[in-house]
């Protein structure tokens, strides 16, 4: 294992966090991700394409449940003490999500304990933890009533010997065309020289102060809008059969119109067909409904209950995107948003653009799923919606280096 800044990505998803850490010159050791679908995407891009991880021989390169890794390889994990700079990532957030039911009994909430146990075994110098905004809310119905979810994690990490500090950050203020507020927690092991809660707290001031020079160097705006991100992906008359989705059609690239589009297409300039830019097959009835909503809506927010009744819509959320605004939080549900100038939902690639994924990053597996499978499968739309925006994680990676 070579020197330098090394990290392990827990609950890695398709690799949004790891892309940013790669760009900020961190070296991955390995990634833990339970879903075979999400791991397939991570493996293709970060292992096979750019060889980002120095994957240990003792751990198979495949999808892993964190509890299985702890059970089967605890001795190996202990031997990593002193060799790992950072543990990054956050457990699945469905049980805490404001957008969902916020089920305090959701079994996925217990993965917090697995996260803490993993940290205890490896004892990295730094911790970077990300979760949904709802993670800062209080328990209402169980023995922890009145206590914030985030405080429980903070207390446990403090007991493990870390100085920790967390706060909410809107990624939309860091060059990402999406309003996406997340809870970020940074921890520094308390035996490290000059380590303190103030040191952990300084992460948030440093990343705020650094963003202007970071974005200026890349010719990017602080608050890009939806049109800035997507206008080179409109369908117009340029459509072809989707290469990896039989019976569906994709749009071709138009010339990039903004610096954000040029940034997204870097290292992918010669491609004609964007990966995962497959259009959904809407019936004429659905197309007419979406076009009507576009014609009467001028705000980038969930349409009124009256309008939902008028068009016979039963879903909870339908947001008609507006070109000069930032998108709402991209989720795993593709039907939540209407394209800003075409009567259709967004493609996977368009969602990925709003999440700041580079266009060279190819998504793998199913495009979408439904019904009971939604809880178990992680298709492309879900992979994108669950990810940390790479453009933010790159900025975070640079500041985490400064802390040590």
User: What is the Cα–Cα distance from 231 to 256, expressed in whole angstroms?
Assistant: 8
pLDDT at position 313, please?
A: 86
pLDDT at position 370, please?
A: 74
Q: Judge whether 53 lies within some domain.
A: yes
pLDDT at position 350, please?
A: 98
Q: What is the pTM of this model?
A: 0.93
Q: Supply the DSSP string of 302-321, one letter for each residue.
A: PPPHHHHHHHT---S--EE-
β-sheet bridge partners, residue 187: 127, 164
How many structural domains comprise the chain?
2
Spell out the long-range contacts of 26-30 with Cβ–Cβ below 8 A and sequence spacing 24 or more.
26/85, 26/86, 26/397, 26/401, 27/2, 27/52, 27/53, 27/54, 28/52, 28/53, 28/54, 29/1, 29/53, 29/54, 29/55, 29/56, 29/80, 29/84, 30/55, 30/56, 30/59
Looking at the structure, tell me whether residues 148 and 257 fall in a common domain: no
pLDDT at position 142, please?
A: 54
| CATH number of the domain bearing residue 342 | 3.90.120
Looking at the structure, tell me whether residues 395 and 252 fall in a common domain: no
User: What is the Cα–Cα distance from 305 to 313, expressed in whole angstroms?
Assistant: 9
Q: Are 52 and 397 in contact (CB under 8 A)?
A: no
Looking at the structure, tell me whether residues 167 and 98 fall in a common domain: yes
Looking at the structure, tell me whether residues 240 and 197 fall in a common domain: no
Q: Supply the DSSP string of 165-188, one letter for each residue.
A: EEEEEEGGGTT-SB--EEEEEEEE
Looking at the structure, tell me whether residues 197 and 291 fall in a common domain: no
Please report, to the nearest 10 degrees, the dihedral formed by the alpha carbons of residues 209, 212, 215, 217 taken in order: -110
Looking at the structure, tell me whether residues 171 and 101 fall in a common domain: yes
Looking at the structure, tell me whether residues 349 and 243 fall in a common domain: yes
Q: Are 251 and 236 in contact (CB under 8 A)?
A: yes
Q: Judge whether 1 lies within some domain.
A: no
pLDDT at position 1, please?
A: 46
| CATH number of the domain bearing residue 95 | 3.40.50.150
What domain range is 332 assigned to?
226-386
pLDDT at position 107, please?
A: 53
Q: Judge whether 290 lies within some domain.
A: yes
Looking at the structure, tell me whether residues 393 and 381 fall in a common domain: no
Give the pLDDT means over successive 10-residue stretches in the chain (404 positions).
Answer: 82 98 98 97 98 97 98 98 96 58 53 94 97 81 67 93 96 97 96 92 98 98 98 88 95 96 96 96 94 95 94 88 97 93 97 98 92 79 96 98 92
Tokens read off for 147: 């206590």
Looking at the structure, tell me whether residues 41 and 172 fall in a common domain: yes
Looking at the structure, tell me whether residues 189 and 301 fall in a common domain: no
User: What is the Cα–Cα distance from 163 to 197, expressed in whole angstroms?
Assistant: 5
Number of Cβ atoms within 10 Å of the Cβ of 76: 14
pLDDT at position 102, please?
A: 44
User: What is the Cα–Cα distance from 158 to 162, expressed in whole angstroms?
Assistant: 5
Tell me the H-state helices in 4-127: 16-23, 36-42, 66-78, 111-122
Looking at the structure, tell me whether residues 379 and 321 fall in a common domain: yes
């Amino acid at each position: 294992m070579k020197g330098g800044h090394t990290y392990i990505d827990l609950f890695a998803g398709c690799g949004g966090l790891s892309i940013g850490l790669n760009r900020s010159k961190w070296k991955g050791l390995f990634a833990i991700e339970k879903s075979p679908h999400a791991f397939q995407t991570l493996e293709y891009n970060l292992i096979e394409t750019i060889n980002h991880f120095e994957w240990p021989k003792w751990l198979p390169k495949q999808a892993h449940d964190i509890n299985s890794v702890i059970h089967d390889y605890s001795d190996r994990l202990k031997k990593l003490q002193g060799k790992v700079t950072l543990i990054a990532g956050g457990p699945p957030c469905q049980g805490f999500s404001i957008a969902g039911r916020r089920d305090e009994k959701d079994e996925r909430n217990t993965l917090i304990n697995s996260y803490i146990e993993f940290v205890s075994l490896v004892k990295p110098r730094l911790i970077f933890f990300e979760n949904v905004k709802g993670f800062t809310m209080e328990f209402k119905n169980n023995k922890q009533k009145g206590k914030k979810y985030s405080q429980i994690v903070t207390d446990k990490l403090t007991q493990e010997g870390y100085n920790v500090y967390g706060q909410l950050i809107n990624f939309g203020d860091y060059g990402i065309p999406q309003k996406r507020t997340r809870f970020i927690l940074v921890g520094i092991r308390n035996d490290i020289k000059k380590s303190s809660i103030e040191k952990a707290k300084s992460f948030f001031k440093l990343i705020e102060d650094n963003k202007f020079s970071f974005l200026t160097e890349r010719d990017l705006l602080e608050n890009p809008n939806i049109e800035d991100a997507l206008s080179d992906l409109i369908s117009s008359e340029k459509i072809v059969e989707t290469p990896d989705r039989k019976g569906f059609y994709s749009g071709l690239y138009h010339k990039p119109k903004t610096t954000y589009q040029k940034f997204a297409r870097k290292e992918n300039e010669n491609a004609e067909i964007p990966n995962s830019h497959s259009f959904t097959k809407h019936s004429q009835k659905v197309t007419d409904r979406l076009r009507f909503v576009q014609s009467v809506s001028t705000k980038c927010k969930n349409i009124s209950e009256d309008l939902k009744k008028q068009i016979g819509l039963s879903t909870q959320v339908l947001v008609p995107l507006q070109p000069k605004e930032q998108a709402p939080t991209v989720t795993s549900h593709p039907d939540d948003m209407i394209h800003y100038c075409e009567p259709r939902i967004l493609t996977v690639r368009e969602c990925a653009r709003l999440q700041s994924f580079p266009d060279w990053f190819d998504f793998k597996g199913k495009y979408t799923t439904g019904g009971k499978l939604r809880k178990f499968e992680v298709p492309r739309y879900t992979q994108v919606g669950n990810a940390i925006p790479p453009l933010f994680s790159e900025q975070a990676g640079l500041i985490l280096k400064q802390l040590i």
